[in-house]
Amino acid sequence: MVITHPTNETYLYVGLEFDTVSDVKDCWNQIQTTGFDFISIPLANERRDCRQDDQNNGFSKDLLFEPSVSSDLELAGNIWSTAVLGKIHYYPSSTAEAIPAIEAYVRQQLDWAQHLNLRTSFVAVDVCWSEEQHIFVANMIASALISFPRQSICIRICIDGTWTDSQQNHHNYKKVGGGKVMHHWDIWNLYRQCCDYHPCLSVALECLDCARPSPSQLFFQQWLSEPVHYLILDTKIFLKNRQGFPVLSKSFQSMLSRFLPFSVSILVRGEARHPNGYASYLQYLGYLYSKQPTMEDSYRVEMPYFDYLQAPLQPLADHLDSQTYETFEKDPVKYRLYEEALIHCFQDRVRDDNVVVVMVLGAGRGPLVHAGIRASEQVGVKNIRIYAIEKNPHAVRTLKSIQRSDSRWQQIVEVMEEDMRYWNAPEKADVIVSELLGSFGDNELSPECLDAALARGLLRPDGICIPREYTSFLCPLSSPKLFQEIRGYKNPNIPSPFEIPYVVRIHHGQYLADPLPCFHFEHLPVVDTSSHSEDPPSSSSSSPCRHFRYRRLSFQVHGPIMLHGFAGFFEALLYDDIKMSTNPQTLSHGMFSWFPLLFPLSHPICCNDSECRVTFHIWRKVVPGKRIWYEWMLTEPITTPLHNANGHCYSMSSSTSTFS
């Protein structure tokens, strides 16, 4: 019985673990009766394999594998593949004589799991092992992932000791047998790096006996960006309420609620400590899941795009399609903010019956035109003329269709199929409005377009440009998921997928520091303009220095954590104090038109220190009239190669599309 959220239409899968299997059919019937979704069983019959041999450093040279189930016919094929997880049994050792036998024993289990078509097999690791023992097991798993490409392996790590760890004592390892005992996250990081970020490797966090955890912010920063597929809860961590039913402490509920949005599954293990058996635990977990907050509408819209890499739009060089326009137009917050800015602008500036001239540069299918009309009606502007300037001929057809069918448009809207950079306007505007902003503010070439239009004298000396100014922001990002996605990105025309910025709704990722301001652009009226011509103005707007930018940003990152790139945002001042922002610290709540712009690093960087200084350099380079591109690199904690040097992997074209 899959647990379903009452309003979110999301699901929680809960399984039950069996330490031994005498009859797998009985195990399956038990979870069918109680309502669990899957089971976890040992792959090997531990009672039948060879015991320790004291004469051979504690291990026998011959480990004989016998399956824990007698036959694959015990369950139907679809049950094995969808509802059964395996547990790999093995003896950890770094003794050279024992390693071949242990590896062969593990391979036999994985071979059996692959025959059963199990989706995942668990490998439990002990936090008390030495680093050398972990390296031995990590080596074994890395080889297995190559030998068994259809098998997924999940590393089980007990995190009970995490609650008392702090940044200060993170590296104060205990000594056992002369070797250091590693921290929980460092253990996982060793396995993940040894396996080279293999997509079939995941992690399960196991809670055995700590009923009242107190996880630090570092704990969540480390684990919420990792591929945590399972939370394993021992029945010992459940408390009893007044009626004697199992419940989790408030602190555990809080921790659980941080992981549930990432589609983790829960595995219950241990002895049932309630008269109703395991059903009481399942019922309680279902109750907790039903209390999860209801999703906001913007979150629902964003879900299909979670961690999905997209190339940034180039509306100047390419024509946007209808679906892209439709997606943008569904954003209620963006156009409400633009309308609010126009209302305030009209209230401040309209003093008589003179005609107010508004130019919408890059009108698309008309949402800003509609906003301008509504704003003028609310303020009571009697005389208004709106120019809708759009270079995309397909969008122009839509604008003219609206004009033919809407009487208000017929009275006040002029549709112009023009490129704003070259348009000879019949009159000057009181207000220019544009939504050319990209995910990083300037990455859809708003500076080049608006400055060229202003240099042609489209705006009165006392006119207003909306937006007036905007600033991009950057912060360091940890996201193993996005690193894997970028590494798997295939395009024969791109030398390196790590030297391209991507638009992405970051879900499996953590921001490691507060965003810092990067590039700033401001658009003010140009008082003295050259005479109108058919060519772009030869003013400062065409100078490579005007739109060239460079910034050096330094962040303090709390480690240990892996750094995979930098996330870019923007803040825009529309008018007066009306702002529009994708910066997480000043976010315009509910707006989904722009996802962050990701600047990846070609290799993950380990920020090992509790206070690690990260210094990032980024350039915005320009060849006027041809292309614009970003270059970026690190100089702390290590120096990386320059990414996208001379725009050899990615650039933004500033030439107009010739398609019609």
**E-strand stretches of 345-398:** 356-361, 384-390
Is 334 annotated to bind ligand? yes
Cα separation, 68 vs 23, in Å, equals 9
Cα separation, 654 vs 541, in Å, equals 13
> Residues 307, 489: contact at Cβ < 8 Å?
no
Is 420 annotated to bind ligand? yes
List CB contacts of 404: < 8 A, sequence separation 6 or more.
410
> In 3D, which of 570, 574, 569, 573 has the Cα closest to residue 338?
574
Query: What residues form DSSP beta bridges with 578?
Result: 575
Which residue stretches of 206-275 are H helix?
A: 217-223, 250-259
Cα separation, 196 vs 139, in Å, equals 11
> In 3D, which of 408, 468, 472 has the Cα closest to residue 440?
472
> Residues 114, 148: contact at Cβ < 8 Å?
yes
Listing DSSP states for 561-613 in one string gives: EEEEEEEEEEEEEEETTEEEE--TTS--TT--S-PPEEEEEEEEEEE-SSSEE
Is 325 annotated to bind ligand? yes
- Can you tell me which residue has the tokens 């937006």? 467
Q: Is 503 exposed, middle or buried (0-12, 13-18, 19+ CB in 10 A)?
A: buried
Helix 131-147 to helix 99-116 angle (10° resolution) is 40
Q: Is 329 exposed, middle or buried (0-12, 13-18, 19+ CB in 10 A)?
A: middle
List the end-to-end C-alpha distance of the chain, in Å, as a whole number.
Answer: 54
> In 3D, which of 483, 484, 502, 97 has the Cα closest to residue 312?
502
Answer yes or no: 435 catalytic: yes
> In 3D, which of 329, 337, 595, 587 has the Cα closest to residue 443?
595
The single-letter code of the amino acid at 567 is A
Answer yes or no: 103 catalytic: no
Residue 405's H or E segment, with its range, is helix 393-405
Is 390 annotated to bind ligand? yes
**Phi, psi torsion values for 576, nearest 5 degrees:** 55, -120
Cα separation, 83 vs 120, in Å, equals 10
Residue 476's H or E segment, with its range, is strand 469-478
State the catalytic residue, choosing from 339, 435, 499, 571.
435
Q: Is 138 exposed, middle or buried (0-12, 13-18, 19+ CB in 10 A)?
A: buried
Count Cα atoms within 13 angstroms, Cβ side, for 66.
9
State the catalytic residue, choosing from 17, 339, 340, 444.
444
Is 418 annotated to bind ligand? no
**Phi, psi torsion values for 308, nearest 5 degrees:** -100, 120
Is 61 annotated to bind ligand? no
Residues at the binding site for S-adenosyl-L-methionine are: 325, 334-335, 390, 419-420
Residues at the binding site are: 325, 334-335, 390, 419-420
Active site residues: 435, 444
